[in-house]
Amino acid sequence: MANLSSPARALRNFRPSSFPNSRSSRPSSAKYLSKPSPTIRISQRPAHLVPRPYICHRCLHTTKAVNANRAPKSRDRGPASKEDTQTDFGALNVLGNTPPPASSIESTSTDGFTFDNQLRVSGCGVLLVGGEVFRWKPWTRNIGDEEGGRKMLNGKGQWDVDQGAWGVLDLVWPKPDLLIIGTGPTIIPISPATRRHINDLGIRVEVQDTRNAAAQFNLLATERGVQQVAAALIPLGWKDGR
Within the chain, strands assigned E span 105-108, 112-115, 120-122, 125-129, 132-136, 178-182, 204-208, 229-233
Q: Where are the domains of the chain?
A: 105-233
Per residue in 53-100, pLDDT (tens digit) is: 655 556 666 666 666 677 777 666 667 667 666 666 666 666 666 777
Per residue in 107-146, pLDDT (tens digit) is: 999 989 999 888 999 989 999 999 899 999 888 765 545 5
CA dist., res. 96 & res. 226, Å (int):
17
pLDDT value for 177 = 95
pLDDT value for 203 = 95
In the chain, what is the straight-line distance between the N-terminal and C-terminal CA atoms, in Å? Answer: 151
Closest by alpha carbon to 129, among 179, 79, 92?
179
Strand ranges across the sheet with 178-182: 132-136, 125-129, 229-233, 178-182, 204-208
CATH class of the domain defined by 105-233: alpha beta
Read off the pTM: 0.60
Closest by alpha carbon to 119, among 110, 129, 132, 130?
132
